[in-house]
Amino acid sequence: MIVLKVVFCVLLCLPMAYVTRFLVKILVEESKNN
């Protein structure tokens, strides 16, 4: 049961971290252009 919870958390956290890094990269590029 604990293993399933850990796997579920990892599956949730990895995409969120990827999206956050993607958004930060977009913001940095926009701030450079301005």
Instruction: Give the pLDDT of the chain (34 residues) as one tens digit per residue.
Output: 899 999 999 999 999 999 999 999 999 999 999 7
pLDDT at 14: 92
Provide the residue ranges of all domains of the chain, joining segments of one domain with +.
Answer: 1-33
Following DSSP, what letter does each residue of 2-32 receive, concatenated? HHHHHHHHHHHHHHHHHHHHHHHHHHHHHHH
pLDDT at 2: 92
pTM of structure: 0.55
pLDDT at 1: 82
The one-character DSSP state at 27 is: H
CA distance 29 to 34: 9
pLDDT at 34: 79
